[in-house]
Amino acid sequence: MKPAKAIATPNIALIKYWGNRNDELRLPMADSLSMTIDHPSVEISIEPSDSFSVRSWNSEGKEKQLGKDDIARFARVIDLADNYLSGLAGKELLPSEISIEVRSHIPPKIGLASSAAVFCCLAEALAASVTDEFPLDAVQKSVIARIGSGSAARSVHGGFVALKAGEGSSLASSYAEQIADEHHWALHDIILVPSHDEKKVGSTEGHALAHTSPLYAKRIEAIRNYRQRDCIDAILKRDFEKLRFIAEEDCLDMHEVMRTSTPSLEYLTEDTHRIIADVERLRTREHLPVLYTMDAGPTVHLFCTDESRDRILDYANAQTSCTVFETVVGPGSSVLS
């Protein structure tokens, strides 16, 4: 293993990943689909060391004190990645101890999936560190990223990406595949952050509750029967209206599953609902290609085309109580020299 450094960005799902068939290995129940965004990024450096360590710096350059659980999550990725890589290569590739340094440019508490970028970046750095002995392809990197965070698997690729749920209980049975690259369709994601409050229940705990909702089985069937396929089709044909219909149906369905779980998870706030209503009015009045989607928090992602971008950005900037970020479709993780 040689020292290595990588960079990765978050991705935003249009068909949401919610619930696992195996929580330990983060093997999802159903496929999901996302767009990788161009920024903000995370950089990770790794190198062989005398003892395992993880240090992390936030977007202001301040060192962040990591908790025991955070460190354990990194340690588990390294352990499982070590097993996976030795299985692939037929020999040990990683040293017994590694030091990891994480530098995030993602502002804290904005509801952007920093874990997706972080664990994708770690997988990219691990792959780079062993590439002379055993070069990994993007699918293999996505398996390692998924161990740390399910959605991280998708950030390995640029553009539009499917996370295939797969079947069975092997670590490599679920992986991410690119549907179309970042040059295929210039979609923007204008992000409105209504609240800087830390989310109450994180995604990892939330996934474990998905099965308690009476609506969950129907959700999984819908994704398996038509939603994932229709979403891929809409992207390949650049059919915004079709994409809007499927993505909003899937997002609202996931939030209904969350709300009807035991205990109930309510991530959307009054601000979220107000923004959704505004956007619905705006597009009816002005016939704008724009769709909304929300993850496990009140942040609203407004996907739009070049044509509607200026108008949506004007709307977003007029929301004085919100922080606004503008992103576009991006290229996926890569190695830094």
* Residues contributing to the site for ligand DP6 (CB under 6 A): 13, 16-18, 26, 32, 113, 115-116, 149-151, 203-204, 207, 295-296
Nearer to ligand DP6, 1 or 163 (CB): 163
Joined tokens for residue 290: 């724009």
Angstrom CA distances, 19 to 80, 154, 179, stand at: 21, 16, 22
Work out how close the CB of 303 gets to ligand DP6 at its nearest, in angstroms, rounded to a whole number. Answer: 14
Nearer to ligand DP6, 140 or 149 (CB): 149
Work out how close the CB of 49 gets to ligand DP6 at its nearest, in angstroms, rounded to a whole number. Answer: 25
Nearer to ligand DP6, 113 or 288 (CB): 113
Contact call for residues 196 and 110 (beta carbons, < 8 A): yes
Work out how close the CB of 89 gets to ligand DP6 at its nearest, in angstroms, rounded to a whole number. Answer: 26
Nearer to ligand DP6, 115 or 308 (CB): 115
β-pairing, 53-57 with 98-104? parallel
3-34 per-residue burial string, b: 16 or more CB within 10 A, e: under 16 = ebbbbbbbbbbbbbbbbbbeeebbbbbbbbbb
Work out how close the CB of 320 gets to ligand DP6 at its nearest, in angstroms, rounded to a whole number. Answer: 27
Nearer to ligand DP6, 40 or 150 (CB): 150
Query: E strands of the chain, at which residues?
Result: 4-8, 11-15, 20-22, 27-28, 32-36, 42-48, 53-57, 63-64, 98-104, 160-164, 175-180, 188-193, 290-293, 300-304, 323-328, 334-336
Work out how close the CB of 192 gets to ligand DP6 at its nearest, in angstroms, rounded to a whole number. Answer: 16
